C-alpha cells in the first residue's frame, strides 16, 4: 500500500479541520506531503495560531506553494491521493479549469490525471451557481466532494469532536481509520438479537 498522501490547505475558513486531518493521517501511519497556499497560511495563523512549518512534525515534507517543480507536481511521484482541506472557491475554480498556477493546484491536477483519489472539502456558505458548477465539474472529473457538514448522531460535545468526526469521514475515503471515530450503528443487532446502542460504539 502506498503510504504517501498529499494534503493541500487553501485560504478558506476551516484550518482547524485541516490540522486535525494532518494529525490523524500521521497517527494512521501515512506519509503526509503538505502544501499550503498563501491564503491558507493566513487562515492557519488566524484560526490556529500556527505557521505551515509548525505542522512539520506530522509531515514527511512541507512544500512552498510557489515551488511548481516540487516532487508532488509530477505524476511519476506516486501517491495514494490528495485531500484539499479546506478548499476555497478560488482553489475549486482553479482545479476545475486546470489552471495550475501554484503547487497545490498542480498537485490536484496531477492527482486527477493519474486517476488517483482527490477529496475536496469545499468551505463556502452560501454557494453561488458558479461555485456549484465548479464543484460539479470536479465531481464529474472523478473528485470526491465532501462538504464539511456536521453530523449530530455522534452527539458531539465540542467543536473539536465535530471536526474530528469530519476527519473520520475524510480518512474513510482512503480506507483509513481515524482514532476515536464514532460510527452510526442504528439497526445493528448483536448475536442475541439485541439492538446495539450507537453510544457504545463511541466510547
Which helix H or strand E contains 32, and what residues bound it?
strand 31-36
| Set of cell numbers at residue 14 | 476551516
Give the number of other Cβ atoms within 10 Å of residue 132's Cβ: 11
Residues 148-162: pLDDT tens digits?
A: 998 888 888 999 999
Angle at 48 between CA 42 and CA 51, to 5 degrees: 55
Q: Bridge-partner residues for 64, per DSSP? A: 36
Residues 33-89: pLDDT tens digits?
A: 999 999 999 999 999 999 999 999 999 999 999 999 999 999 999 999 999 999 999
| Set of cell numbers at residue 188 | 445493528
The pTM for the full model equals: 0.91
Residues 99-110: pLDDT tens digits?
A: 999 999 999 999
Q: Which residues of 151-184 are buried (b: 16+ CB within 10 A; e: fewer)?
A: eeebebeeeeebbbbbbbbbbeebebebeebbee
What percent of the chain clears pLDDT 70, i.e. is strictly above it? 91
Number of H helices, E strands in the chain: 7, 6
* Cα 167 to Cα 20, 46, 136, 160, 194, distances in angstroms: 7, 21, 22, 10, 30
In contact, 90 and 134? CB cutoff 8 Å: no
Amino acid at each position: 500500500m502506498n503510504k504517501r498522501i498529499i494534503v493541500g490547505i487553501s485560504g478558506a475558513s476551516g484550518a482547524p479541520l485541516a490540522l486535525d486531518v494532518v494529525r490523524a493521517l500521521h497517527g494512521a501511519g501515512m506519509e503526509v506531503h503538505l502544501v499550503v497556499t498563501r491564503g491558507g497560511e493566513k487562515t492557519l495563523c488566524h484560526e490556529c495560531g500556527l505557521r505551515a512549518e509548525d505542522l512539520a512534525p506530522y509531515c514527511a515534507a512541507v512544500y512552498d506553494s510557489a515551488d511548481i517543480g516540487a516532487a508532488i507536481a509530477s505524476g511519476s511521484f506516486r501517491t495514494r491521493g490528495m485531500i484539499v482541506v479546506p478548499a476555497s472557491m478560488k482553489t475549486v475554480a482553479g482545479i476545475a479549469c486546470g489552471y495550475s498556477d501554484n503547487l497545490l493546484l498542480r498537485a490536484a491536477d496531477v492527482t486527477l490525471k493519474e486517476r488517483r483519489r482527490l477529496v475536496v472539502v469545499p468551505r463556502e456558505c452560501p454557494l453561488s451557481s458558479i461555485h456549484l458548477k465548479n464543484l460539479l465539474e470536479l465531481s464529474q472529473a472523478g473528485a470526491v466532494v465532501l462538504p464539511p457538514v456536521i453530523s449530530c448522531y455522534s452527539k458531539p460535545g465540542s467543536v473539536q469532536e465535530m471536526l474530528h468526526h469530519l476527519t473520520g469521514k475524510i480518512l474513510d475515503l482512503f480506507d483509513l481509520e481515524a482514532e476515536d471515530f464514532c460510527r452510526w450503528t442504528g439497526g445493528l443487532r448483536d448475536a442475541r438479537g439485541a439492538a446495539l446502542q450507537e453510544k457504545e460504539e463511541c466510547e
